[in-house]
Chain A
Amino acid sequence: MLLSVITQNPIVLPALIGAGIALFSGIVILLVFRFFRVEENPLQKTLEDVLPGVNCGGCGYSGCAAYAAALASGEEPKTTLCTAGGQDTATAVAEVMGVEAGTVVPLVANVFCQGTTENTTKRFDYTGTPHCASAAGLFAGPNSCTFGCLGFGDCVAVCEFNALYLENGIAHVNHNNCTACGKCVDACPKHLIHMIPKHELATNVTCSNHWPAKVVRKACKVGCIACGRCVRVCPVQAIKIEDNLAVIDQEICIHCGECVKVCPTNAIRQGLLEGPEAS
């Protein structure tokens, strides 16, 4: 009776076969998982939850999971590497790891160029693909200053936090959005972007030109001519001339602004930029 129901009925047999296969696979999976279980470090999971999970790579690892793995396995002793999360994340990571929280010096990206379309000229019309990398490959780019920003926005393209924008032909950093992940630093073919300590009066020689004064003046209205007036006026000796370019040591700088006043070409800029959030 029962057998005939199973074989005759058009629903019971398919249902049985389906359920049977499902049950069998379920048992096999269960057994395999039991036999082939891999011990995972529970610490890593906790760390992954604590980290921001944006996978920007600012810590130097390929992503948050990789950093968590390095921390959990003890390969990486530093708990303050996450630039995107800042102090909060560093404290939380240190808490999980059971070590004392270090202080994170927040960094921000800065474009060391003021060669806007008003301040520089073009040596030729560039009509190739609109990328800094390709423009830089053609006679070092069309700008009169071959050290300067090309303005095609390779840095803007790689930024995942809308922290960079183009204005008057050069890139600017909106410090409110910048997490110091460092992607733009790698993207700039002219190596114009560097990380500086985040201070609202951060003072920088916003120029990267190493040419002698006469040539710089022809190429750009606001280029550093290495005259050395800022070096003499600096009360803490934070400024040095290196290879025809004044450089301010950010560790020593007290943000007094004296150098800004004496700079004849306005190459020194004080303060961080805010700007339109790039859409």
Chain B
Amino acid sequence: MKEFLIILFSVILIDNLVLSRFLGVCSFLGLTKSLKNAMGMSVAVIFVMLIATAVTYPIYWSLLEPVNLGYLQTVVFILVIASVVQVLEAVIRKAFPPLYKAMGIYLPLITTNCAILGVMLINISEIYSFPAAMMSSLGAGVGYMLAMFLFTGVREKMEKADIPDFMEGLPSTLMAASIVSVSFMGFKGVIENLFG
């Protein structure tokens, strides 16, 4: 249990997907203009993250690893994640129309989201057990959601600020993102003291 908690909290706070590992930055910058978009994308990411782990983990350990083809993981995972997202979209659209309306347009965006692929590859390289891999995926998704929500708040404040012309738009957004990222460095060492 303690091991799972350590994985969960360290993935959310210390190795935050967006702010420390710099994965999924495109959607992080693109969809943090309003809380509604951030919410939809985050929920979709958490959802796909868990299902993609449940699919890619067995593929690696029972198909690729036994025949020493670990190096194929990137290609195979991209293929599998894209297919899983397509299938999920079709199923959700038919079975849960309200859910499709809420996160439908964000699902295709996730197909090629580096955050998902990154977490899959990290789960493999850390040699997690299956429950630990699921926990790490959940933590990564929740960490993504946390980063999205925090940054949406920052950007809503920036909308009202008087920014010089040459800094308006992406430059100021990127600088704000880097400052938020730096602030997450403050969590270094917290986990060791919490559970150690």
Which A residues touch B160, using CB under 8 A? 129, 131, 134
Verify if B167 is at the interface (C-beta below 8 Å from A).
no
Number of A-B contacts (CB under 8 A): 51
When C-beta atoms are compared, the residue in chain B nearest to A13 turns out to be B67
Known: A13-B67, A25-B83, A29-B87. A18 touches B76 (CB 8 A): yes
Residues of chain B from 60 to 74 with CB closer than 8 A to chain A in the complex: 63-64, 67, 69, 72
Which A residues touch B72, using CB under 8 A? 14, 17-18
A33 touching B90, Cβ below 8 Å:
yes
Select B94's contact among A13, A28, A38, beta carbons within 8 Å: A38
Least CB distance, A1 to chain B, in whole angstroms? 19
A21 touching B79, Cβ below 8 Å:
yes
Which B residues touch A33, using CB under 8 A? 90
Question: What is the predominant secondary structure among interface residues of chain A facing chain B?
Answer: helix
Residues of chain A from 88 to 147 with CB closer than 8 A to chain B in the complex: 129-131, 134
Supplied contacts A28-B87, A37-B94, A134-B160, 4 more A-B pairs, CB within 8 Å: A29-B90, A33-B90, A36-B90, A129-B161
When C-beta atoms are compared, the residue in chain A nearest to B59 turns out to be A21
Verify if A32 is at the interface (C-beta below 8 Å from B).
yes
Verify if B194 is at the interface (C-beta below 8 Å from A).
no
Which B residues touch A13, using CB under 8 A? 67, 69
Which A residues touch B82, using CB under 8 A? 25
Least CB distance, A151 to chain B, in whole angstroms? 16
A17 touching B161, Cβ below 8 Å:
no
Residues of chain A from 9 to 32 with CB closer than 8 A to chain B in the complex: 13-14, 17-18, 21-22, 25-26, 28-29, 32
